[in-house]
Amino acid sequence: MATGFNPSRGPAETAATTPEDDSRASLQPLVGSCWNETFAPLREAAEPLVDNSDVVPYEILHEMGTLLHPWGRKYVHRSVFIDELTDDLHEFILERTKAAPGRMDGIGIWPMGEAVGSGNSSAFAWSDKAHLIVIEADWESHDNRAHIEWATETERRLRDRGGEGAYPGHVGVEEGDWEDWSEKAYGDNLDRLQEIKHEFDPENVFDHSTPIHSEND
C-alpha cells in the first residue's frame, strides 16, 4: 500500500511513506473517536509514536500544527481535491514522495468524507470531494527553486490525473501563467462571492493571498 502514517507530518492527515521512514506509525485521522475501532489493528501491530485518533479540541489541533511549522523554515503547500483514491494515485504519490528534494517534503492525504462545507450556500466549493491531497514542501536550505518546482510539478501531474480545485490556504507561493488561484479555491461559487464582496467590502479591506475581487474589478 503506497500510503501510510508518517510521524514527521502534521496532525489530522495521512502521508505517503518511503522505505526509510520510521517503522512506528502515527495515527492521525481527520475525524475523531469513530476511527478508534478502525485503527485498533494498527495499535496491536506496533506501538504508535503518536496517537491522535480520539476527539481533540480544535484549539489544540491548531496549536499542534503551529508547532510543526516553526518560524524560520520555508514552506510551499499546494493542493488538489480528488473523487477517488485509486491504486494509480497511490503509486504516483509514493513516486513523487521519493522524488522530493528534501527529507521534510511530503504529500498528505486528507479524508474529507464528502461532508465538508454545504455546497453552494457556503464559500467552500468542493463539498462533494472524497479527499484533499496536499503537497507540502518544507525546507531550511538555500535550494528554494528545487522545492518550489517539485511542489508545482506534483500538483500539475495530479491535475492530469483528475485533481480539481484547491484549499485556499494551500495554493502555493507563485501563481503561474497556467493557473488562477481564486478559481481553484472557490470554483463555481466565485461569481456569487464576488457579488457579496462588492456589496460588503468594495474597498477590499479584507484582503487575502487567495483574493475574491469585487465583480467590478
- pLDDT of 119 > 90? The answer is no
What average pLDDT score do residues 85-93 get?
94
Per-residue model confidence (pLDDT) at position 21: 46
What average pLDDT score do residues 159-186 get?
92
Confidence at 216, pLDDT banded by 50, 70, 90: low
- Give the CATH number for residue 31: 3.40.462.20
- pLDDT of 6 > 60? The answer is no
Tell whether 100 is covered by a domain.
Answer: yes
Find out whether 97 and 18 touch, Cβ atoms under 8 Å.
yes
Tell whether 53 is covered by a domain.
Answer: yes
Tell whether 40 is covered by a domain.
Answer: yes
**Residues 6 or more apart in contact with residue 154 via CB below 8 angstroms:** 78, 96, 107, 135
Integer Cα distance of 195 and 120 in angstroms: 14
What average pLDDT score do residues 51-78 get?
83
Integer Cα distance of 198 and 195 in angstroms: 5
What average pLDDT score do residues 58-82 get?
88
pTM score:
0.72
- Give first-to-last CA distance, the chain, whole Å: 48
Backbone region of residue 114 per phi and psi (left: phi > 0; alpha: psi in -120 to 50; beta: other values)? left
Tell whether 214 is covered by a domain.
Answer: no
Per-residue model confidence (pLDDT) at position 166: 94
| Total number of domains constituting the chain | 1
Find out whether 138 and 74 touch, Cβ atoms under 8 Å.
yes
Report pLDDT digits (tens) over 136-171.
Answer: 999 999 999 999 999 999 999 999 999 999 998 899
- Backbone phi, psi, residue 214, to 5°: -60, 150
Q: What is the DSSP string of 98-145?
A: HT-SSTT-EEEEEE-TT-SS-GGGSS---TT-SEEEEEEEEE-SS-HH
State whether the Cα torsion 70-73-76-81 is positive or negative: negative
Tell whether 107 is covered by a domain.
Answer: yes
Per-residue model confidence (pLDDT) at position 35: 57
Integer Cα distance of 26 and 43 in angstroms: 10
Show the domain range for 144. 3-180
Tell whether 81 is covered by a domain.
Answer: yes
Q: Which residue has the higher pLDDT, 103 or 42?
A: 103
Confidence at 184, pLDDT banded by 50, 70, 90: very high
Integer Cα distance of 9 and 22 in angstroms: 12
Q: What is the DSSP string of 32-44?
A: -GGGHHHHHHHHH
- Most distant CA atoms of the chain, gap in Å: 59
Among the residue ranges 9-23, 41-55, 75-89, 166-180, the one predicted with the least confidence is 9-23
What average pLDDT score do residues 201-206 get?
88
Tell whether 216 is covered by a domain.
Answer: no
Give the count of beta carbons closer than 10 Å to the beta carbon of residue 38. 12
Confidence at 64, pLDDT banded by 50, 70, 90: confident
Tell whether 9 is covered by a domain.
Answer: yes
What average pLDDT score do residues 117-121 get?
61
- pLDDT of 206 > 90? The answer is no
Per-residue model confidence (pLDDT) at position 120: 60
